[in-house]
Structure 1
Amino acid sequence: MMGIFSQAGSHFRAATTAVKPRGSLEDERAPSDTESDDTSILDENEGSIITSLISQLRVGMDLSRVTFPTFVLEPRSMLERITDFMSHPDLIFGAENCNDPEERFIRVLQYYLAGWHIKPKGVKKPYNPVLGEFFRCRYDYPDGTHGFYIAEQVSHHPPISAFFYISPANRVSILGELRPKSKFLGNSVSTTMEGENRVTLLGLPEDGEYVITMPNMYARGILFGKMVLELGDTCMAKNEKHGMFCDLDFKTKGFFSGTYNALTGRVRRNSTDIGEVSGRWSHIMDFKYTKTGNKRVLFDAVKDGQNISPKWVPTEDDQEPNESRRLWKDLTLAIEHKDMEAATDAKSAVEDAQREQRKRMEESGQKHVPRFFELRDGRWVPKLTIPSDPTAAISTVQQWIFNSRPTLAGPSSGP
């Protein structure tokens, strides 16, 4: 045990000696090209993350209770954060009425690219969902139509979040899963976002699925300096039925060149170039047609980013114990009050209950059975048969998401 504390102390001293004085001009400037929402500059009371971690240690303290400081926690679960990609439905609604498959593909690209600008100020990490946790909501659109969303943590090792969105009246469904994997890289952390989004235009089943993968995320400057969030590396969008493909490159800024939040991509149909995507996901993204050289705006986050579709979520009193907002309500309240000790206790309470639940199930020989999703042919899909008639589909989906209750064979209602 003494070796652990000695090693931690040596790393702490090495990190702090590398930190420039907080009063220096260089230290007070945010990295060039970043927006205020992309960067966290820690004040004198917050210090560096490693300082906060060390400050939590107490003689005889269980090290499993050490948690990230409250100022790097986003007060919502990852299951809710996924809803950011359903915030601009107007970009994809009606795509089935486009006669050109290339235009339909571009419309799906617009939906996907429009979700990245939504994030909390600075570098924040949502809660890691616990096994059996779920989040559900409904969207009420101005024209009287609705959208429905459900996400569930279907696996703990490895962590897998399955999610499903559908708007029967607007003939769109989105099915996907996320399998994040994080690595410590010295002064940064990378999160590999494995998994896929599968978009279906319900009015054009002959199109098949539009499949989109995710870029990786990087939190820079987590030990000292300025914390900056970046998206990096490549991801892919494709519709195999029509031979449509797009390789998107989210660019991280180099030490001496480049810009933050930039991305590029080429859209092709089979081997023929259709056009080029360029811009910044936090600002304006354009599409330039290869044949004509004409440009169109895919999404303007500065102009249209505030037009986010609001979501209706049941009140905490109407939620089940393992529903995200109710499950994490004590942690969320502690973060809002900037009470790190209370946040540590609240987070530990949920995680300790999760470990105890898994232990009881292992001892009794039980296996966790997800409530809303099932693994079929290697893919997590809803436990639901959706009628083709939109009116019947609305009733079926709403009943399944909001009025169903777990059966005796389902997961426990606790964390």
Structure 2
Amino acid sequence: MDRGRGDRQGSQLTKDFFFKATGEERERRIILAKPLTVGEETDVDYRAPNPLQLVFSLFRNVLPGSDLTKFQLPPLFNLPKSQLQCFGESVYSTATDMLSRCNSSENPHDRFIAVVAWSISTVRPLVFGVAPYNPILGETHHVSSGNLNVLLEQVSHHPPVSALHATDEEENVELIWCHHPSPKFNGTSVEAEVQGKRQLKLLKRGETYVMNSPTLSMRFLPGPAADWVGNVRIQCQETGLEAELCYRSSSFLWRKGNHRSIKGKIFESSSLKTLYEIDGHWDRIVSVKDINHGKFTVMYNAKEVLSGLSAPIVKDLREVWASESAVVWSELSQGILSKNWEKAREEKKAVEEKQRELLRERESKGETWVPKHFSVSYCKEGGWDCSPIQQKVPPAPIDVPL
């Protein structure tokens, strides 16, 4: 099954990104912008007008080593979507069905390679100088892509923690992720370690794959750049296999060969024997080499997976929750897309002030906010843990066109 092939909704703003309901029963304005893709232009200009202005703002207002989770970007430097939407897109916005491939082989080695390839597909392009909105507490994002139903909720605001649950009943696949970015300003760069456990469960195989995420890096010198760096480990206790991946960016001296490169290996957990070597570029081609036979195989082609992606569409406007990201931020997104910066600033301020008001109300009543869709816990050793309350995610009123 293919998901999201090409732009079949046209290029007009009213068809791709803007939906409005009228009537007394319910009124919803929904802005759904296209996801970032690899190697192609989009109808939305995601570039910051003057990235150096953002750099100067950080130097003026933030001390090196500071936590940036409370730093607010002006709308000029925002993408027309929430971080919650971007998080969800990494799972449901693909041009080929990577998850089904994880289940398809009877060979555990082939399944593990497919899981590694799927993990690479969740890494998406970054644009220096622009960032999505910080999600509000209780914000949700509920989207279906084929048989895959995805639900996200912002379960904490300070610190920012997002939870994701996705199920595909036909493939017997389940995803449970906890996403906690921790950005820090280091003087010449911003490094955002993405904490939280990610689990991919192949239920009919009885296998659980546990993995982490690479680190987001925004570098100012010698030239502005945004990329993913760091190490990712993927483990499956049931098969006894592990993978280590290293994401690398251009070095300080701008050696182009390292740009968006990825190297790694797949090995046996018990003996540490290397079975496969992984090499390539996550935004192009990644190959795997069978150590025993010396055979090279393309395991991931970013152009096939991350190009021709469409924005989701609304199937049933009456079923869209008021907490949906595309509803919460609709007026701000519309201001950004139309480049009406005064309107965008007003709408962003309105959303933020409403949240402060709700916080004051809870504090005055001695109430504690509780997530609707996840149970959340935290411990110093294991960090944040987000467990879905429901066993399965229901079909969503927002859908990725096939």
TM category, shorter: 0.7 to 0.9
Q: For structure 2, which runs of at least 5 residues remain unmatched after alignment?
A: 1-37, 62-69, 379-383
Task: State the partner residue of 1:59.
Answer: none
The amino acid that maps onto 1:153 is Q
1:112 equivalent to 2:119? Answer yes
Size of the aligned set, in residue pairs, is: 338
- The range that moved more, 305-314 or 147-156, is 305-314
1:86 equivalent to 2:92? Answer yes
Deviations 1:272-324 (A, max 9, x none): 11111111111111111111111111211134432547644456665333211
1:244 equivalent to 2:251? Answer no
Task: State the partner residue of 1:96.
Answer: 103
Q: For structure 1, which runs of at least 5 residues remain unmatched after alignment?
A: 1-33, 57-64, 141-145, 387-396, 404-415
Tell me, in whole angstroms, the C-alpha distance in 1 between the residues paired with 2:132 and 2:148: 23
Task: State the partner residue of 1:280.
Answer: 281
- TM-superposed CA distance for 1:148, in Å, is 0.5
Task: State the partner residue of 1:407.
Answer: none
Tell me, in whole angstroms, the C-alpha distance in 1 between the residues paired with 2:39 and 2:234: 27
Contact 2:75–2:348 at 8 Å: present in 1 too? no
The amino acid that maps onto 1:85 is V
Tell me, in whole angstroms, the C-alpha distance in 1 between the residues paired with 2:47 and 2:326: 28
Task: State the partner residue of 1:334.
Answer: 335
The amino acid that maps onto 2:158 is H
Contact 1:109–1:237 at 8 Å: present in 2 too? yes
- TM-superposed CA distance for 1:375, in Å, is 2.8
Deviations 1:316-363 (A, max 9, x none): 665333211110011111111223332222222111111111111111
Q: Of Structure 1 and Structure 2, which has the larger fraction of its residues in helix?
A: 1
Tell me, in whole angstroms, the C-alpha distance in 1 between the residues paired with 2:59 and 2:349: 18
**How many percent of aligned residue pairs carry the same amino acid?**
24
Contact 1:49–1:69 at 8 Å: present in 2 too? no
- TM-superposed CA distance for 1:50, in Å, is 4.9
Tell me, in whole angstroms, the C-alpha distance in 2 between the residues paired with 1:365 and 1:349: 24
The amino acid that maps onto 1:90 is D
- The range that moved more, 181-190 or 69-78, is 69-78
Contact 1:197–1:211 at 8 Å: present in 2 too? yes
Tell me, in whole angstroms, the C-alpha distance in 2 between the residues paired with 1:96 and 1:47: 46
How do 1:42-53 residues align onto structure 2 when only pairs under 5 Å count?
48-50=53-55
Contact 2:216–2:228 at 8 Å: present in 1 too? yes
Tell me, in whole angstroms, the C-alpha distance in 1 between the residues paired with 2:268 and 2:388: 31
Deviations 1:373-415 (A, max 9, x none): 11379631211134xxxxxxxxxx427x669xxxxxxxxxxxx
Task: State the partner residue of 1:254.
Answer: 251
SS at match of 1:247: strand
1:301 equivalent to 2:302? Answer yes
- The range that moved more, 155-164 or 45-54, is 45-54
SS at match of 1:322: coil
Contact 2:51–2:128 at 8 Å: present in 1 too? no
Task: State the partner residue of 2:162.
Answer: 161
Tell me, in whole angstroms, the C-alpha distance in 2 between the residues paired with 1:242 and 1:251: 28
**Alpha-carbon distance change, 370 to 313 in structure 1, aligned in 2, over 3 angstroms:** farther
How do 1:46-65 residues align onto structure 2 when only pairs under 5 Å count?
48-50=53-55
The amino acid that maps onto 1:110 is A
- Give the counterpart of 1:74 among 79, 83, 89: 79
- TM-superposed CA distance for 1:250, in Å, is 0.8
Tell me, in whole angstroms, the C-alpha distance in 1 between the residues paired with 2:346 and 2:71: 10
The amino acid that maps onto 2:330 is K
Tell me, in whole angstroms, the C-alpha distance in 2 between the residues paired with 1:169 and 1:120: 33
Contact 1:134–1:324 at 8 Å: present in 2 too? yes
TM-score (norm. length: structure 1): 0.73
- TM-superposed CA distance for 1:35, in Å, is 7.9
Considering only CA atoms, is the larger Rg found in Structure 1 or Structure 2? 1
1:382 equivalent to 2:376? Answer no
Tell me, in whole angstroms, the C-alpha distance in 2 between the residues paired with 1:91 and 1:66: 35
Task: State the partner residue of 1:219.
Answer: 218
For CA contacts below 8 A with separation 6 or more, give which structure has more relative contact order.
2
Contact 1:163–1:175 at 8 Å: present in 2 too? yes
**Alpha-carbon distance change, 375 to 41 in structure 1, aligned in 2, over 3 angstroms:** closer
Tell me, in whole angstroms, the C-alpha distance in 2 between the residues paired with 1:310 and 1:108: 25
TM-score (norm. length: structure 2): 0.75
